[in-house]
Amino acid sequence: MPALTIIPAVDIQYGRAVQLTRGVSSSEKVFGDPLEMALRWQSAGAQWLHVVDLDAAFSRGSNSDQIAQIVAKTQLNVEVTGGIRDDATLQAALDTGCARVNIGTAAVENPTWCDQMIATHGDKVAVAIDVAGESLATRGWTKTEGDLWPLVERLNRAGCSRLVVTDTQVDGTLTGVNVALLEAVCARTSAAVVASGGVSSADDVAALATLVDRGLDAVIIGTALYVGQITMEQALRAAEIGVEQIKR
């Protein structure tokens, strides 16, 4: 049984690596150069990197050049999210050389286009489902609209291969993960499910790793890594421990 994949996050705002609390733009903690952060996580054992273009998400610019630099100067598999809402922004993201893109707001606001992109690009397109309760958070989490479960059902019909599920109410808070939400999503889809938001400790990672046999594929970790509440090495080991628990 494969171990849970640990994916560190690099969120870019105004050209700097930051972490936000519950996605609020003004809550940023600044951690320096995005490329330096990417290289740090690579040296600690990461194979994937989750890059969020916050300026694109908030419709105030793009950090595509920096993302392309990360792709070019690391050996990481990079997935890009933030502001991918039409053909032009999706192509700009793919042009960075990234391995995968995550469509968020457009999955809710432009479902026909989103489903077409899934059909066209296959597993290079994942869908980011940002959840506030059972409502969907869009436009950089500044709006809520629609319900979670009809979206999951529609994406199943569209053949979406990967769902990135973020509980926006715990993201960046270091208060623990919403295991119940992730269990429920795994039960309703055959797509690979990625957990995001709230990781605070190795125990959180180990708990998530016990869901790999139900379809949980990876966990994205941001703030906990940056402030030292967990290291990449600890996260990788916790993922292995969780899978060992399933085997017993």
Residues 121-151 as b or e (16 or more Cβ within 10 Å = b): eeebbbbbbbbbeeebbbbbbeebebebeeb
Model confidence at 54: pLDDT above 80: yes
Select which of 130, 167, 204, 217 is catalytic: 130
Q: How far apart are the first and last CA of the chain?
A: 12
Q: According to the model, what pLDDT value does residue 45 have?
A: 95
Dist CA 115 CA 100 (whole Å): 16
- Domains of the chain (ranges plus CATH)? 5-247 (3.20.20.70)
pLDDT in tens, 138-169: 876 667 777 899 999 999 999 999 999 998 88
Model confidence at 243: pLDDT above 60: no
Q: Is 11 a catalytic residue?
A: yes
Q: According to the model, what pLDDT value does residue 234 have?
A: 94
What average pLDDT does this structure show over 171-200? 91
DSSP 63: -
Q: According to the model, what pLDDT value does residue 15 have?
A: 95
Note whether 63 and 55 are within 8 A (CB).
yes
Q: According to the model, what pLDDT value does residue 2 have?
A: 64
* Percent over 70 (pLDDT), the chain: 93
101: left (phi over 0), alpha (psi -120 to 50) or beta: beta
Tell me the helix, strand and coil percentages in the chain, rounded to 5.
40, 25, 30
Q: According to the model, what pLDDT value does residue 143 have?
A: 74
Confidence of residue 170 (pLDDT cuts 50, 70, 90): confident
Q: According to the model, what pLDDT value does residue 43 have?
A: 97
H/E stretch holding 9 reads: strand 5-13
Q: Is 130 a catalytic residue?
A: yes
Q: According to the model, what pLDDT value does residue 76 have?
A: 98
Average pLDDT, the chain: 91
Model confidence at 195: pLDDT above 80: yes
- Going 207 to 197 to 110 to 54, the CA torsion angle's sign is negative
SS3 146: strand
